[in-house]
Amino acid sequence: MVAGPKLPANSLKEALDYAKARPGELNFGAPLGSYAHLDMLALTQRAGVRMVHIPTKGAGETLANLLRGDTHFQISNVASNIGAVRSGQLKAFAVTSDKRLAEVPNVPTMAEAGFPGIGSLNWNGIFAPVKTPRAAIDRVFRDSVAAMKELEAEGLLAKRQLPMVLSASAQAFDAYVQSESKRWEKIIRDNKVVIE
C-alpha cells in the first residue's frame, strides 16, 4: 500500500487514522474489480474508514496519480513502484506478502501493521476443463513446475520483484483458488460491488 509524499502519515495506522478523521474526503485508485480494488475495500471496511474509489487503468498510473494528488492511496505491485518508493516519491505503508520483502525491508506486512488477512498475492495458474483426466493434470502440473524452476534458476523473476512461490500440488493450487474466490465473493457482497 502506497501513498503520495504529501500525506501526513508515516505508517498504515497513521494513514488510516488520518482518513478516518476525514470521511469521504480521501480516495484510493484501483482498476474496477481488481485485487487492488477489493483489497482496499476490505481494508477500509475493517478499519472503519470511508474513502472514495477512483477507477484507474492499472499500476502504470499509480505514480502520476499519487504525485498529482488525483488519488491519496493505492495498493499496487512492488515491481511498478519500487523506484518511486526508494527515491522518496511514494510512501510505502505495508506489503501484502506473508513476509517482509528484501527490496523494502523496513515496510511491514499487513499483518504486522495490524491487518492480517488483508491483501492478495499476484498469482497465475493453468486451468483445464473439469473432466480432464487426473493423469493429464498431474503431468501439466509437473512440467509447469519444472519449467518455472528452470526459469527462476537464473533469478529472472526475483530481479523484477516478482517472487515465485509454487503450489505443492495441483490439488493445493485448486484449494488456494477456491479460498481466494470465497474471500473475494464476500468482499464483493459486503461492499455491493457492481461492474456494469
- 48 and 6 in a common domain: yes
Residue 89 counted as domain residue: yes
- 63 and 21 in a common domain: yes
Q: Is the pLDDT of residue 108 over 90?
A: yes
Q: What DSSP state is assigned to residue 59?
A: G
Q: How many CB atoms lie within 10 A of CB 130?
A: 5
- 113 and 147 in a common domain: no
pLDDT tens digits along 28-39: 999 988 889 999
Q: How is residue 110 written as a grid cell?
A: 499487513
Backbone angles phi, psi at 73, to 5 degrees: -135, 155
- 60 and 24 in a common domain: yes
Backbone angles phi, psi at 186, to 5 degrees: -65, -45
- 99 and 44 in a common domain: yes
Backbone angles phi, psi at 138, to 5 degrees: -65, -40
Strands of the 2-3 sheet, one edge to the other: 52-55, 27-30, 73-74, 2-3, 91-92
More confident residue, 19 or 67: 19
Task: Show the domain range for 44.
Answer: 2-119
- 37 and 88 in a common domain: yes
- 92 and 23 in a common domain: yes
- 146 and 91 in a common domain: no
- 95 and 9 in a common domain: yes
Backbone angles phi, psi at 50, to 5 degrees: -110, 115
- 146 and 88 in a common domain: no
More confident residue, 152 or 24: 24
- 80 and 163 in a common domain: no
Q: How confident is the model at residue 44 (pLDDT cuts 50, 70, 90)?
A: very high
More confident residue, 25 or 159: 25
Tell me the average pLDDT across 115-136: 90
- 32 and 84 in a common domain: yes
Number of domains in the chain: 2
pLDDT of residue 64: 86
Task: Identify the CATH number of the domain in which residue 62 sits.
Answer: 3.40.190.10
